[in-house]
Amino acid sequence: MSLFAALTAKPWARQSFEDLPTSGRLAIPTVKLGLCFFLAVATVLFSLTAIAFMMRMGSDDWRPMPEPSLLWFNTLLLVLSSAALHWSWTGARQDNPSQTRVGLAAAGVFALSFLIGQLVAWRQLNDLGYFLASNPANTFFYMLTALHGLHLLGGLVAWGRTVAKLRHGPVYTLRLSLELCTLYWHFLLLVWLVLFALLLSDNAGPGLLHGMHHMH
């Protein structure tokens, strides 16, 4: 299995739990357990990468790169995407087809806009001469944002399957699918907020030291 396939594989997207017979179900759906396991593995992956980032920051060859202001707007897009998906899930629990459809569509649009915005931020940095292999800070920035983007892209696969099922079935049958997608979106939002704060702290650190030097 390729690295891209491994990162974008989503266990809950392979089957529809709502289609299974009611007899013999576990108290916790199997697909939900699968998602929880996947999130645990992803948490370890992101945590190890963040730790490596912090350890590498102290190296002499580390040159912090500026964070494009576009990243703030992208963060807002991801917040809106997560909120819209949660709203869609609420609509499904209340048997509100209109709210479910609008929220689901908005979540996808905001998520795609976030990914496009990240690519634009990459392009801006490349135009300024901050290339992938220029220094370790650049490498970590591109690696962290790409890793997060691949996970979100994989989530959009599950989102697309949910949209397809919504077009051919009643809203109440999508409650579990929407719950799982919402949980995954909230997880990716939390991960991005942590990564963004880490990137900002790296950029602020040298500036803070520079200011303290002038104070003396």
In a domain, 193, yes or no: yes
In a domain, 15, yes or no: no
In a domain, 169, yes or no: yes
Q: Which residues have CB under 8 Å from 117's CB, separation 6+?
A: 70, 73, 74, 77
pLDDT category of residue 150 using cuts at 50, 70 and 90: very high
Cα distance between residue 63 and residue 56, in whole Å: 11
In a domain, 9, yes or no: no
pLDDT (tens digit per residue) in 43-99:
999 999 999 999 888 788 888 888 889 999 999 999 999 999 999 999 999 999 999
The CA distances from residue 63 to 10, 21, 72, 141, in Å, are: 36, 57, 22, 12
pTM of the model: 0.80
Judged by average pLDDT, the poorest of 100-114, 152-166, 197-211 is 197-211
The CA distances from residue 30 to 14, 22, 112, 151, in Å, are: 12, 13, 29, 21
Total structural domains within the chain: 1
> In this model, does residue 114 exceed pLDDT 90?
yes
Sign, CA dihedral 8-105-107-112, equals: positive
Judged by average pLDDT, the poorest of 62-66, 174-178, 205-209 is 205-209
The domain spanning residue 150 has which CATH number? 1.20.120.80
Q: Which domain holds residue 85?
A: 28-205
Measured at the CA of 116, the angle between CA 158 and CA 80, to 5 degrees, comes to 65
In a domain, 22, yes or no: no
> Quick one: pLDDT at residue 141?
93
Percent of the chain residues past pLDDT 70, beyond the cut: 81
Residues in the chain: 216
